[in-house]
Structure 1
């Protein structure tokens, strides 16, 4: 037996004992028995010997070589997996292309009159890893509609809405896009790693991939539209410090020029709309240090990489920048300023809230700049449109207008999107404005607009006899989406265009939708009805479209205190969202309306409530479209199948608002208290509409 001690010394004996000491764990002894054919027993280390009888130790070398080989194999496998699996295009990218030709569109919008949906698309809002970059944008060009969102790029045929090409990249978020000539470019960042950047160039018509580059950083990407400037076949990028501009060829992806920014200035980052551009000029807002520390506006010719002009602005905040064909608009928090192609300021509209929270809608047509703004010092909600001659700045006309959410121009006409056709009616409205004098005609649009929703702002464009409108939606909840509709001229019908071709006589009296037995059954027979009327443009409806029921004053009731708004006032707001008060107790009892509640401990007195006819469609399909559009723009909406209507939705956090459709009629019932009374009244309204007297 040979015993190996901790120092490696051998001791004679009948077995071999190998001792290896480990720190803090003492000694581990492994006993191995090895019998030779000669009957002898040898030590573990005695198999091979050097000349002179010294044993040769090769186990350590073999172990070391094995460890090194294993480490190399693991590292090589990791590199191969990262390159050909994790970083492979075949599973990350979903890219479709097309070989179908596209038909160019004429510069003309739909004719005056009712509008109907030609086609529509809904794009879900992508909430990526970079906070704030959840914008979504649309553009119409070359017979195509481009949709850019955090998910990627989608391109559709502008006439039919059919898919043309798309590009999505799993694990990456689209944070910017640009277009110049026949190129469309996307800027992607890997989720969770903003240092891993990728710019990809596509053929705008086919979607074919032309080139891609790692590392470029776009210059002044808009957080709301995701757009960054490009023109003359060159896209603008910057360095990590945002103090230098670079021009990158959209054809090859190679850098073609370099332009240092003025000393002490840098590009804004993460701003709402810090830049914009057209083919021959790009405008970028600069954050400049100094005594005044005001921001500046730098205009650059993208093809040459030279400064066209540079102008100081009125505050240090990041401005909103918008470019039209020959005009640059800037809202800097102190005023809205208009510059001509040479950088001359020809118009200024002063006021901190002149544009509200976004850029003022504006279009340029026949040498006139049409701007919609909020006059400084005016009442809340007051809006004005003015036409200014370019470049003289002469005011040609101005008038009060609705709070237009977006403008577009085509065929010598200006199209304006208003959130409501009328304050008490459901659909949005489209006005066709004469740029020469400001005269306008109105028509309902089969969409609903809720400006309180987060997400993309309303957008409008016109081409090929179609009007394209994009509006935010709450559905699918909770992410939300943007609904894009292409509108064309609809059937005129027998009524005025302002009512969608429906005769005014078809509108029912809102106060007749609840008969005396219905009021008695709901314990509201003592309420006083207050009819309210509405107009759609110049058309005044002959019957009340809304009926407000107020409870009688009880003895000792202090009534309306001075300066206090009456309960239930304001439920006729154009946007139903939030108009129903929250239910403090929730709905209890066996019925989903809480109808089985006992009087003990529960307020059973019915407060004020409102029944309003929101729209009468030319067909049931039109009415159904509008009701669906209404519920899609509400933060909370739940379908109700127990109302007895063709369709019904409970809107809001409590059961205080029911929107229903019976045939061509869309009606909304709003009740203050108690829970469930709105649903009971809505059932009575549905019954009366199904069985008119």
Structure 2
């Protein structure tokens, strides 16, 4: 008879407890192993996280030349959505043109296109990860990703820049001094620069395989800036990094191939500077002064003042041995700047010019291209100035793009190569997150008109004060009104007709009449002593586009009009007549207030005008398409229905009316009908 191992009372013996413990331990190990395997081969698996396309199509580098002087036309354009990831401040979209390709970088990943055609070449994205930096050197490109919600999960990925082929991956590394505005960090000589967690050590890693090549401790007490706008930059043979040191910041230049410190210079404040590198020139803007250093670290030029560069680095290029910088000297008027060329390395000023507040500069083939946010204050498109490096002489042409330099996400950017000019700018959020738009421009048809107007003759521009007839104004209950025409000029071309016309009820001008009387008593009957005033003229809306010829400065400025009464056939509400015979029981509609009609642009063809209007609406946060206005296209801007932009053929017009609600739409309908009659 075999005895039972179970003790009396149903208790398990020692052997049973051991087996139970081993079973629990085995179960726990199995669960842990499954968790590890799931994390490694499922959660971290490349097969579902990564969207990676490559190309085998060859591509040739572009020549270093931009488009010739004259009008510009669009070759191709692309929009890229911004990515608002978990790390605040790194939601930019940045661009680069190199080796015949355009690289577009955002938190979503990398998109690389053919620079000539805009066709896709290769791309790389990781689901659940955000791209927070990138570097390029020679034919290698390296991207830095962090896992969303787990910043400790870091990944460097190396690519062949031409094919997009994956070369290597390395976990745990972090790049050195990433710029928030461009997401770029320094690299050169096939080496990318990384740092440790405390940002006190600099390491050079091979862009070929990610292996370490050298390591260097930063000067005592100093560390790299983190989360700065643009704390570093690099060329192939030199990298410059801003250091956060006790007392004030410093600028450190190293050889990326060996890690050897080339020079180390103090700056003027303890704030994070912005750093920009050109070929043999390093610029640093520290909020106190803009400093220019030569290849050996010698400072050869400085522009002092708190507002010299404003919130961003001053646009600059190196052309024909001269450093050309656009900056704001003390006392500069809003919208203005100064362009100055200094010899390298002597620092001698070759020339200086007062210019518009350029948003970006680029150079190619000895030509300097300067980007104006507006061709002229009242006109819609951006402008490009072609500046001679020898003496600063300038020619101007419109760019078929719209630009709002104050929108976040994309700092206005420009580059020139292969006979093309590349311009990038932000488009407005929401929808849902905003985006960046890149436009590639080529030289356009000369046309029969001046280049400053895109080849369109001055006679092709309608008179803004002729787009509403007296019947249109009577319908808006503006039986007694005054007009304020405003003219515009571009370069040496002055448009013959007003580009903007403001209508005000007669009663609203009583204060203005009193002001003119006060001017006469002060001995200034023309009012020219007042800012923004100009000689007066009577302007009658209607079929005729004739406007008195007045001598005025070649800038956008108003012309003070007189009451639109009597000779215009309008009824005077102070006298008996048809205009005063209104039903007593009906409550009169309110008079339109703040009415302005502006001709924003006349393009050389309807397609160009349509793209400009599309770009205009893309820079507005609140936009509604209106299909009841007439014409070819119309949009309503803003929280109220007070602004309507419309296109009829080649002409873009904007109508503003403060009140009553809906007045702008009714008047825009009349303007559209009038433009169709004139076309």
Q: Same fold (TM over 0.5)?
A: yes
Does structure 1 retain, via aligned residues, the 8 Å contact 2:597–2:655? yes
Question: Residue 553 of structure 1: SS of its match in structure 2?
Answer: helix
Query: Aligned in 2, Cα 1:557/1:439: closer, same or farther, shift over 3 Å?
Result: closer
Question: Paired residue for 1:95, among 46, 52, 58?
Answer: 52
Measured at CA, do residues 242 and 612 of structure 1 come closer, stay the same or move farther in structure 2, by a change above 3 Å? same
CA shift at 1:94, angstroms?
0.3
Q: Find the counterpart in structure 1 of residue 608 from structure 2.
A: 622
| Residue 657 of structure 2: aligned partner | 671
- Paired residue for 2:293? 339
Change (3 A) 1:395 1:52: closer
Deviation at 1:396, TM superposition (A): 0.5
Report the CA distance between 1:181 and its aligned residue: 1.3
Kept in 1: contact 2:249–2:269 (CA 8 A): yes
Is the Cα contact below 8 Å between 2:476 and 2:591 reproduced in 1? no
Distance 2:514 2:616 in 1: 32
Query: 1:633-689 CA deviation, whole Å, 9 max, x = no partner?
Result: 111111111111210000111111000001111000011112111111111101111
- Map 1:155-234; keep pairs closer than 5 Å: 155-234=112-191
Alignment length, in residue pairs? 614
- Aligned position for 2:93: 136
Map Cα deviations across residues 166-212 of structure 1 (whole Å, 9 max, x no partner): 10001101100001111100000011111111001000111111111
Which SS does the other structure have where 1:298 is aligned?
strand
The partner residue of 2:599 within 609, 613, 619 is 613
Q: Deviations over 1:564-597 (max 9, x none)?
A: 999xxxxxx99xxxxxxxxxxxxxxxxxxxxxxx
Q: Secondary structure at the match of 2:506?
A: coil
Stretch of structure 1 that moved more, 346-355 or 73-82: 73-82
In the superposition, the TM-score normalised over structure 2's length comes to 0.87
The residue that corresponds to 2:4 in the other structure is 49
Whole-angstrom CA distance in 2 between matches of 1:278 and 1:103: 22
CA shift for structure 1 position 376 = 1.9
Task: Give the equivalent residue in structure 1 for 2:370.
Answer: 416
- Secondary structure (helix, strand or coil) at the match of 1:85 reads helix
Which residue is 1:496 aligned to?
A: 450
Q: Is the 8 A contact 2:430 2:621 kept in 1?
A: no
Is 2:392 aligned against 1:438? yes
Q: Cα offset for 1:476?
A: 6.0
SS in 2 for 1:108: coil
Instruction: Tell me, yes or no, if the aligned pair for 1:138 and 1:146 is still in contact at 8 Å.
Output: yes
My pick for the range that moved more, 345-354 or 375-384, is 375-384
Partner residue, 1:123: 80
Question: Residue by residue, what CA displacement relative to the aligned partner does 1:215-244 show, whole Å, maximum 9, x if unpaired?
Answer: 111111001100100111111111111111
Q: Which segments of 5 or more consecutive residues in structure 2 lack a partner in the other structure?
A: 519-529, 533-554, 557-584
SS at structure 1 position matched to 2:358: coil
1:549 to 496, 503, 510: 503
1: CA distance, partners of 2:165 / 2:76:
26
8 Å contact from structure 1 (residues 201, 212) kept in 2: yes
Residue 347 of structure 2 is aligned to residue 393 of structure 1: yes
Change beyond 3 A, Cα 1:545–1:56 = closer
Structure 1 unaligned residues grouped into runs of 5+: 1-45, 567-572, 575-597
Q: Which residue of 2 aligns with 1:604?
A: 590
Distance 1:51 1:245, change over 3 A: closer
- Structure of larger gyration radius: 1
Change over 3 Å in CA distance of 1:49–1:509 after alignment to 2:
same
Partner of 2:567: none
Q: Using a 3 Å threshold, how does the CA distance of structure 1 residues 48 and 71 change in structure 2: closer, same or farther?
A: farther
Q: Do the aligned residues in 1 keep the contact of 2:66 with 2:419 (CA within 8 Å)? A: yes
Check the 8 A contact 1:49/1:55 in 2, yes or no.
no
